[in-house]
């Protein structure tokens, strides 16, 4: 029988590494990944169920006389689990000869009993995995080491998914830029665009991390989740299913469409206007359309742009798609590769036309090494459809027409987390701590209001569209922010004098030591010439 561990010091990466070892040599990349995610899901759902069950027993007793017990769980966004579908039952039977069937039955039962999970769970996975019962027990034992802190604080399904994307180098990972967005970056986006109420949209929602973290923002600011509507789309079938799983287990109502689909070639939310967009599109996505496709699409040329985004890179296609979704007061925060800031040819033309619409509000370059699967620095764009004076969330904003705030955070690279990506191999991942996020927000809000904002060398600069035009429409913060050549500030004569004085003091000290040793040993030298 697998026993519950008393150890709480295991990192998520340690547990996942051990799961990889248990599955080595069997199954496909996708099946192995889904096997681990399935067990993580079962433990997550089981832990939430047991917590809620304990609350009900405390309030009503062990045999409370209500016909509809299920509603006591679902009302708190907890799945009701029949006994054979609970994590505790899986743990108790971890050594059983039919453990694969027990797990598959648990997944099928949960999906049958909970409409929100229809089509979200992998079925009959363990029976076809080809893993011996000892290996499955090993998986259960390792997943059982994850304590409650992982489920409270992390977008766990997303992190597990990203771990396997990286370590197994799943097909399409790096070419398509399929990245899990670090929680600190999502928190930064949420703090800046403030999605307190309205429709939040992600056109490439992945495993749902943006949605999970944005609702944590609402919770942390004492907002009401009922005021937020989640809308998204995902093109990869496995990822779409994982997103539904991730949102459902957290009780997050959502509309991801009836199926997976490409946002560009099959927009599942046509004519939908939203209040907020939060997105981390695949970086530099190639072949996002055919050469002659979408030329009559209302998001592009029919929206008034003179050229189509190039087939070879979807960066500007994402920008135009996001613009097409925002309502008259909408705001978007999204990530793009830094190349979009200075791209030439067709993208240069599109950048000029976007700037002419005056919807770009903030450009922030982030530090390198923030992502699991790439070490590049990326840019956070904030678009706002209305930059006129007004009141937003109780704050009075000045008219920011024809202005853009630039920030460069690449020097903020001192805080890191260490992750295990392979046996004996670790990687440091840069993170933005809460104090840094708060500083960015303070600068942004001061600039918006016109109170106490000032340009800071090597950090931020407010530029006019006229200045940007003079820089040939570049959006690279380094073109505008003042950078200091620290070498030029050195007083070389004074510095050389200081060094010479220090050398004289060192030589004098050595001579003094020589004299003391000579006296002590009766004139015999002691290794100093």
Res. 174: pLDDT tops 60: no
Res. 524: pLDDT tops 50: no
In the chain, DSSP finds a helix count (H) and a strand count (E) of 17, 12
Helix axes 133-143, 29-60, angle to 10 degrees: 50
512 and 423 co-located in one domain: no
224 and 364 co-located in one domain: yes
> What pLDDT is attached to residue 171?
37
Cα torsion 330, 335, 341, 344: sign: negative
Last residue of a domain, one of 119, 153, 187: 153
92 and 190 co-located in one domain: no
412 and 512 co-located in one domain: no
Give the 3-state secondary structure of residue 493. Answer: helix
* CA distance readout (Å), 393 to 194, 197, 231, 397: 8, 10, 22, 10
Residues 6+ apart with CB under 8 A from 468: 355, 404, 474, 475, 480
CA distance 55 to 64: 12
465 and 498 co-located in one domain: no
Q: Which of 82, 132, 166, 91 is nearest to 427 (CA)?
A: 166
Q: Are strands 403-408 and 460-464 parallel, antiparallel or unpaired?
A: antiparallel
CA distance 406 to 242: 36
Confidence of residue 169 (pLDDT cuts 50, 70, 90): very low
CA distance 300 to 306: 8
* CA distance readout (Å), 415 to 150, 222, 368, 374, 433: 21, 28, 12, 17, 7
> What pLDDT is attached to residue 68?
63
Length of the chain, in residues: 529
Give the 3-state secondary structure of residue 494. Answer: helix
142 and 230 co-located in one domain: no
Q: Is residue 196 part of a domain?
A: yes
286 and 397 co-located in one domain: yes
Give the 3-state secondary structure of residue 86. Answer: coil
Say which residue the tokens 């009766």 belong to: 522
**Chain segment 340-365, per-residue pLDDT in tens:** 999 999 999 999 999 999 999 999 99
pTM over 0.85: no
228 and 105 co-located in one domain: no
CB 374 within 8 A of CB 430: no
**Chain segment 182-230, per-residue pLDDT in tens:** 889 999 999 999 998 999 999 999 888 888 888 888 888 888 888 899 9
Say which residue the tokens 């399904």 belong to: 157
Q: Looking at residue 255, what DSSP letter applies? A: B
CA distance 484 to 462: 17
Token code pair at residue 12: 């998520």
* Count of structural domains within the chain: 3
> What pLDDT is attached to residue 9?
46
Q: Which of 155-164, 197-206, 487-496, 513-522 has the highest mean pLDDT?
A: 197-206
Q: Is residue 339 part of a domain?
A: yes
Confidence of residue 308 (pLDDT cuts 50, 70, 90): very high
Q: What is the CATH number of the domain that holds 471?
A: 3.40.50.150
- According to DSSP, the residues that pair with 462 across neighbouring strands are 405
Residues 6+ apart with CB under 8 A from 321: 203, 263, 264, 267, 299
Res. 502: pLDDT tops 80: no
Token code pair at residue 502: 């220090």
Region 153-170: what's the mean pLDDT?
62
**Chain segment 41-96, per-residue pLDDT in tens:** 899 899 889 988 888 888 887 766 555 678 888 888 888 899 999 999 999 999 99
Q: Is residue 528 part of a domain?
A: no
Where would I find the beta strands (DSSP E) of 237-305?
Answer: 274-279
Q: Is residue 165 part of a domain?
A: no
The region of weakest confidence among 79-83, 251-255, 433-437, 500-504 is 500-504
* CA distance readout (Å), 341 to 50, 102, 130, 364, 473: 50, 53, 49, 11, 9
Note the helical H segments in 195-236: 209-220
Q: Looking at residue 181, what DSSP letter applies? A: P
Token code pair at residue 279: 């997105």
218 and 111 co-located in one domain: no
Which residue range(s) make up the domain with 498? Answer: 492-520
136 and 213 co-located in one domain: no
**Chain segment 462-479, per-residue pLDDT in tens:** 999 999 999 999 999 999
272 and 303 co-located in one domain: yes
103 and 249 co-located in one domain: no
């Amino acid at each position: 029988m697998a026993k519950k561990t008393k150890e709480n010091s295991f990192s998520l990466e340690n547990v996942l590494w051990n799961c990889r070892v248990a599955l080595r040599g069997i199954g496909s990349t996708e099946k192995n990944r889904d096997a681990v995610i399935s067990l993580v899901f079962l433990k997550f759902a089981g832990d939430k169920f047991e917590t809620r069950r304990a609350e009900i027993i405390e309030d009503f007793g062990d045999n409370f006389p209500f016909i509809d017990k299920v509603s006591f769980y679902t009302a708190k966004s907890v799945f009701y689990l029949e006994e054979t579908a609970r994590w505790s039952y899986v743990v108790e039977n971890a050594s059983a000869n039919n453990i694969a069937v027990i797990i598959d039955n648990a997944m099928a039962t949960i999906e049958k009993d909970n409409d929100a999970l229809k089509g979200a769970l992998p079925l009959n996975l363990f029976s076809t995995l080809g893993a011996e019962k000892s290996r499955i027990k090993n998986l259960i034992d390792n997943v059982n080491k994850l304590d409650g802190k992982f489920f409270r604080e992390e977008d766990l399904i997303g992190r597990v998914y990203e771990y396997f994307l990286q370590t197994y180098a799943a097909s399409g990972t790096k070419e398509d830029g399929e990245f899990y967005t670090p929680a600190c970056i999502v928190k930064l986006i949420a703090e800046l665009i403030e999605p307190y109420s309205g429709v939040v949209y992600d056109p490439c929602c992945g495993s749902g991390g943006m949605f999970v973290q944005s609702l944590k923002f609402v919770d942390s600011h004492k907002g009401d989740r009922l005021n937020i509507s989640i809308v998204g789309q995902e093109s990869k079938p496995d990822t779409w299913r994982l997103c539904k799983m991730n949102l459902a287990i957290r009780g997050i109502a959502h509309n991801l469409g009836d199926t997976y689909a490409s946002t560009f070639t099959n927009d599942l939310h046509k004519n939908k206007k939203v209040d907020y967009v939060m997105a981390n599109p695949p970086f530099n996505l190639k072949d996002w359309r055919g050469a002659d496709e979408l030329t009559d699409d209302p998001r592009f040329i029919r929206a008034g742009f003179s050229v189509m985004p190039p087939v070879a890179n979807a960066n500007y296609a994402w920008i135009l798609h996001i613009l097409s979704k925002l309502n008259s007061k909408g705001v978007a925060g999204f990530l793009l590769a830094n190349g979009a800031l200075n791209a030439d040819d067709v993208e240069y033309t599109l950048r000029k036309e976007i700037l002419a619409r005056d919807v770009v509000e903030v450009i922030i370059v982030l530090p390198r090494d923030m992502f699991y699967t790439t070490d590049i620095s990326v840019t956070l764009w904030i678009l706002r459809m209305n930059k006129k004076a007004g009141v937003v969330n109780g704050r009075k904003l000045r008219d920011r027409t024809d202005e853009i705030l630039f920030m460069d955070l690449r020097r903020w690279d001192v805080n890191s987390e260490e992750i295990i990506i392979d046996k004996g191999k670790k990687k440091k991942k840069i993170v933005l701590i809460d104090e840094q996020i708060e500083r960015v927000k303070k600068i942004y809000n001061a600039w918006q209001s016109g109170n106490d904002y000032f340009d800071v060398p090597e950090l931020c600069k407010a530029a006019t569209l006229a200045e940007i035009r003079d820089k040939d429409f570049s959006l690279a913060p380094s073109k505008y922010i003042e950078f200091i050549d620290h070498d030029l500030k050195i007083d070389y004569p004074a510095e050389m004098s200081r060094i010479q004085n220090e050398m004289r003091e060192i030589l004098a000290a050595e001579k003094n030591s020589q004299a003391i040793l000579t006296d002590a040993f009766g004139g015999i030298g002691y290794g100093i010439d």
